[in-house]
Chain A
């Protein structure tokens, strides 16, 4: 799978990257309306991990910082808290991405469980959400749900990236 990305630079799919972040922000906002579902992951983080794990020509650290600030604004948390978590996870992905991009989508999904588990632990430590029993179960099931979503997500973005790169 990773071989398909060797000859594609992130510049070739710049608009796809921007569009994916905008759609992810909309999805996060939809999940925020009313009582949100704790088992759904932050879609912006999934997209961030996807792009930072697949392209070697760009680090996405500054993108992680900006997206984190937007998440802080969206969730009404102290500015910089989500940014700190997103930057930490993106940095971890950068250290690991040479392996990650060579994995199959299923192996990537298993890795995503670990990434999302780290996210939830940091989330709990830094942001201290108020969770009741039901929300606590949802909260800890989020990494597994993320893995399932990654299977769809990664395949869709792989396809779109390759199509977009051919057109450009």
Chain B
């Protein structure tokens, strides 16, 4: 009976989305076990990490503030460019639209790279509006896709997993292909005919085909191109740009369909009209100071 049930479950999981809820329920059950499993590693890291001095923290804070300012400036440029692209598209009368995205920052709780699967577990789940099929990126590029969620965590299938397939294009030529994981921290680009022009070092970015991954995000760099006489396609290997094994913080993308909306990131801070001229400054004793009248609170 259990044997037949196992076969039925395999068939159901392979051929339909019917078992998604069961997998989420099992993942929720395993969530505390994964957390317990992380504890020895965390204790070891805590014991081996040097205490950062106060001065170093101050310096890092300054550096981060500067970096944030630069990023904000770049963001403004990006918004302007995006609007420009929108206007040009409207002038040309093309129907293609640039999809905007909102980002959600998540921390990696669990990382696994075994011969069966490559995945990470992040600390944002269904309660944070994370849903399956959302794209996950880090500072360098695309790292994977959310495949299942629990209330407080999500599992992300990495682009190096053999079951992962990602529609990409070569940035230099626009040639489209499918990037598949090959299980050893590496990926393989399929269906590139020998008539194509391809070089080692070419950048691969998401093509947006299929509508799951947004277009234009960097994914990998071509590392090896092999041409076999018997095969009409090249055998191409690509190294992922994202720090799949080291990333601690990742971004979950949520696509929006409004092309003229600005990119909304966690860097955005809402400035209310009555706060614009009166920044919130506190004195050493913690009491608020009115910058227009420093002597009066």
Contacts and interface: CB of A to CB of B under 8 A. Distances in A.
A62 interface: yes
24 contacts: A25-B30, A26-B37, A33-B37, A33-B38, A33-B41, A65-B6, A69-B26, A70-B26, A70-B30, A73-B29, A75-B114, A76-B161, A77-B117, A80-B10, A80-B11, A81-B10, A87-B2, A127-B116, A129-B116, A130-B115, A130-B182, A130-B183, A131-B115, A132-B184
Listed from nearest, the 6 A-B pairs whose CB atoms lie closest are A130-B183, A80-B9, A29-B37, A129-B115, A80-B10, A76-B117
A30 B111 contact: no
A130 B161 CA distance: 10
Residue from B110, B112, B155, B157 whose CB has the most chain A CB atoms within 10 Å: B112
A38 B9 contact: no
A35 interface: yes
Contacts of A6: none
B27 interface: yes
Nearest to A61: B2
Contacts, number: 116
Interface string A32-43: 111110100000
A64 B2 CA distance: 9
Main secondary structure of the interface of A (DSSP, over half): helix
A74 B31 CA distance: 10
The bracket for how many chain B residues form the interface is: 35 or more
A141 interface: no
B7 interface: yes
Nearest to A22: B33
Given A25-B30, A130-B183, A130-B184, A76 B116 contact: yes
B255 interface: no
B96 interface: no
Given A69-B26, A80-B9, A80-B10, A35 B113 contact: yes
B84 interface: no
Contact of A26 (B29, B36, B114, B245): B36
Given A73-B30, A127-B116, A33 B6 contact: no
Contacts of B112: 32-34, 36, 76
Choose among B110, B115, B117 the residue with the greatest number of A CB atoms under 10 Å from its CB.
B115
A33 B119 CA distance: 10
Nearest to A76: B117
Interface residues of A, number: 40
A135 to B, nearest CB: 6
Contact of B155 (A76, A91, A131): A76
Interface string A125-143: 0010111100100010000
B34 A75 contact: no
Greatest chain A CB density within 10 A among B26, B114, B117 is at: B114
A79 B13 contact: yes
Contacts of B54: none
B33 A26 contact: yes
Contacts of B182: 130
A36 B5 CA distance: 29
A25 B34 CA distance: 9
A72 B26 CA distance: 9
Given A79-B23, A130-B162, A65 B114 contact: no
A91 B6 CA distance: 13
B206 to A, nearest CB: 22
Contacts of B6: 65, 68, 80-81, 83-84, 87
